[in-house]
Each structure stands twice: as structure tokens, then as C-alpha cells.
Chains A and B, each alone.
Chain A
Amino acid sequence: MAWSSVTPPISTSGVAELGTEPMAHRRFVLLGIAGVIVLIVGLAVTSLGDNLTYYLYPTEAVAQRADFPDGERFRLAGTVVSGTLMEAEDEVLFDVTDGGATIAVVLTGVPPALLGEEVPVLLEGAWSGGEFDADNVRIAHDENYEVPEEGNYPSG
């Protein structure tokens, strides 16, 4: 380690110029800045770059059906259609819609507690024929907060 052998001199002037600063610190700072840039670029390329769209709505998913063959994973966002939610042994069946197209969903695994009718969801999975096989669901609540007529005030 080249810089560990350098003892930084104590600054006496308080107005030292860039050039008089010990090399050790300049190298440390440059390494730090380079590290941050690598981190940001790395994140952008690995995590963000390939899914700028993040998710599709049912209308888009139906329109782009050809681009996503069976098994090709993507995210699907929509609202659970009233009266379609059915729980089987280890899967949950429901339809999601964005007001346009409606897609039948087969969700495997344990559904989250808040999953219900008229609830906006974000699903991860792939087409399987005319159905969407999902293995992950998130409740995608929006910016609207609503209180029922009687209140929702804390009890007790």
C-alpha cells in the first residue's frame, strides 16, 4: 500500500493550495469519487437499464403478447376485478384489469393479507397460454387515501 507509508504533514497555513496537499489524500479522494461513479453506473446498467418500463398494464400486455412468449417474465400491474377472487389449495385465481383488457391470473404461493377485490396489484410472472402465471404479488396502493363514512378512528 503506497499511501500507508506516507505520513501526512500537519497543515500550518490553513490556506494550502491543491498542489501542497499530501498525495495520499488526493489519491484517496479520487478513488472515492471513482468508486461512487462505478456504483451509480453499475446500478443503472444492472438494475434499471433493462426494465425502464418496470411494468405493463393489461391492455399493453395483450397488445404486446407476441413480444412475451410463454415463460418470458415481466411485471403486470392492474386492479383485481370484483367477484373473480378464488382461493384454491396452494394458488389464488383472479382477474386483473386496467379498465381496458382483462387478464386471468393464477397466483402460486401465499397471498399477502391485503389482497382483495378492487385492490391494485403488481404481479411478477409470465404468460401461460391465455393466463398469467404469477409467483409474486405486491399491493400497489395509489396516492388516494380514503376513509369510510363511519371513520376508521382508532378503537379503544
Chain B
Amino acid sequence: MTKVKVLLAIASVAMAVGLWSALTAPTDTLQGDFTRIINIHAPSMWLAFLAFGLTALGSGMWLLRKQMGWDRLAAASAELGVMFTAIGLFTGMVWGQAVWGRAWDWGDWRLSTTAVMFFVYIGYLALRGATPDPTVRARRSAVLGVIAVIQVPLVYFSVNLFRTLHQTQSIRPDGVTMPREMSIAILINVIAYTILYVALLVARIEVAKIEETRATETALAGDAVKPPRLSEVKDV
């Protein structure tokens, strides 16, 4: 667990630097200080995309190799993806309420596809929770993990494919539509969030190994049944 502690320490420092750069960066003329929310909102969603990508990778590799390590990677990454999506949705709603004047709109494809992606990955975690056998759980969730990743490009490109209230990408191949100081602050936060993701992923995989050891130790039939004490048996 030492490497997890080292990674978390680096992540803490990086996130402090990220927060400082978010609070000192210049802001947009129209939006003012609300612009700063982008430093949490965008990195969170990008890390969610990355996390669901690694869930798909782990799922695909499990189906090919049948090694439990890939299943652990897929499961741990899905949990973190759900966490980052929750942060992205919440900060987006705060930003939306402040600038748009409305927190949520099901008519907006960026918002609604993100919500569906969030629920599907919660469904992925529920599927794992509802399947007690490790091998069956790994197979079923691997199939879902490979299919569900289709949503990542759908969410990302929803602002280009449909008319949305949500703005399109500001950082894209043909250039960046914001001042340099703003995009550098976002970049610092992306690096910080990536380190945090790696630290939590490594930690969660270690915990999963411990969980599996515990499960095999207690899985003997009859373990749950204890012989009654004589004092409890009254009809003797």
C-alpha cells in the first residue's frame, strides 16, 4: 500500500496546484467567476471517459484471457468512472443553474446522454453486486463493459451531432477557443485528476484482492451454521 500512499500524496499536491491555478486564472467576460467551474467539470468528465475506456479494456481482455486481474481492473475503473461522472454532472448542474439559468434539461443531448451513461454504469455495478459467483460475474460484466463503452463517443460528440444548449468543445484539433492561461489551468487540473485516478485505481484493485481472499476463506459450505450451545437447547 506504500505506492498508493505515495500516489495519493502526489495527487494531493497536484490538486492543490490545480485549485490554485483555477482560482487565479482569468475569467470569461460574460460568465465571470462561474468560468472557474470548468476546471473541475471538464477534467472530471474526461477522467470518466478514460475510466470507462479502461473498464472496456479490462472487460475485453478478460473475455480473451480469462484472468481475474482484468476483471478487477474493469470493476475498479467502473466505480471511479461513476464517481467522476457524478462530480461532472453535479458541477455541470451548478454551472448550468448559474449561467444558463437552469440546472437540467432532458431536451439537451449532452445532458441526457451523460445521465443515461451514468445510470448504465450504475447498472454495471448493480449487475456485479447481484451476481455472487466470481466467474459468472466476470463474464456478464465483461460483456456489458464492452458494450457500454459505445456511450463514451456518443456523449463526447453529442454537442457536434445535435443542437444542444451545452457548448461545444473549446480544446479541439483545429485550435483552442480560450485564452492560454485558462487552458493551462485546465491542463494542470487534468494532470492532477489523472494522478488521483491512478492512485484510487491501484488502491481499489488492492482492496478487491483482499475481498477475494476473504470470500474464498469463508465460502465453505456449513461455515455459517454453528452448533447450538447446550444452554440454548431446551428440549433435551
B166 → A minimal CB distance (Å): 9
Q: Which residues of A contact B24 (CB under 8 A)?
A: 153-154
Tell me if B135 and A139 are in contact (CB < 8 A): no
Q: Which of B7-15, B45-53, B103-111, B203-211 lies on the face that meets chain A?
A: B103-111
Residue of A nearest to B182 (CB): A145
- State the CA gap A148–B26 with chains docked (Å): 9
Interface residues of B in 144-203 (CB under 8 A from A): 162-165, 167-170, 177-179, 181-182
CB within 8 Å of A: which of B102-138? 102, 106-109, 112, 116, 119-120, 123, 126-127, 130-136
Chain A residues whose C-beta falls within 8 Å of the C-beta of B178 in the assembled complex: 144-145
Cβ of A154: which chain B residues have Cβ within 8 Å of it? 23-24, 33
Query: Does the CB pair A10–B127 fall under 8 Å?
Result: no
CA distance A121 to B224 in the complex (A): 64
Pick the contact of B140: A10, A29, A139, A147 (CB < 8 A): A29
> Per DSSP, are chain A's interface residues mostly helix, strand or loop, or mixed?
loop
Q: Contacting chain B: which of A36-44, A87-95, A97-105, A127-135?
A: A36-44
List A30-81 residues whose CB lies under 8 Å from chain B. Answer: 32-33, 36, 39-40, 43, 47-48, 51-55, 75, 77
Nearest A residue (CB) for B101 = A112
Across the interface, A32 reaches (CB within 8 A) one of B130, B162, B169, namely: B130
A11 touches B219 (CB 8 A): yes
- How many A-B pairs fall under 8 Å by CB? 138
Given known contacts A18-B136, A141-B99, is B179 in contact with A43 (CB within 8 Å)? no
Is B90 among interface residues, defined by CB-CB distance under 8 A?
no
Q: Which of B102, B108, B219 contacts A10 (CB 8 A)?
A: B219
Contact pick for B132, options A25, A32, A138, A142, CB 8 Å: A25
Do the beta carbons of A145 and B35 come within 8 Å of each other?
yes
For A146, what are the chain B residues with a Cβ–Cβ distance below 8 Å? 28-30, 179
Q: Which of B30, B116, B179, B221 has the most CB of A within 10 A?
A: B30
Answer whether residue A119 sits at the interface, using C-beta atoms and an 8 A cutoff: yes
Determine whether the beta carbon of A138 is less than 8 Å from that of B100. Answer: yes
Residue of A nearest to B113 (CB): A48
Q: Which B residues are CB-close (under 8 A) to A15?
A: 135
Instruction: Give the residue of B101, B130, B219, B220 whose beta carbon is less than 8 angstroms from that of A29.
Output: B130
Interface status of A86 (Cβ within 8 A of chain B)? no
The residues of A that contact B179 with a CB separation of less than 8 Å are 145-147
With A10-B224, A144-B177, A145-B28: A54-B107 Cβ-Cβ less than 8 Å: yes
B31 within 8 A of A: yes
Question: Do residues B30 and A114 form an inter-chain contact, with CB atoms below 8 A?
Answer: yes
CB-contact partner of B107 in A29, A51, A142, A144, under 8 A? A51
Q: How far is the CB of B192 from chain A (nearest CB, A)?
A: 20
* Contact yes or no, A11 B100, CB < 8 A: no
Interchain residue pairs with CB less than 8 A apart (10): A21-B136, A32-B123, A32-B127, A47-B107, A48-B112, A141-B31, A143-B177, A147-B27, A147-B29, A151-B26
A10-B219, A11-B133, A144-B178 given; 13 more Cβ-contact pairs under 8 Å: A10-B220, A10-B223, A14-B133, A14-B216, A54-B109, A138-B102, A139-B30, A143-B177, A146-B28, A146-B30, A147-B29, A154-B23, A154-B33
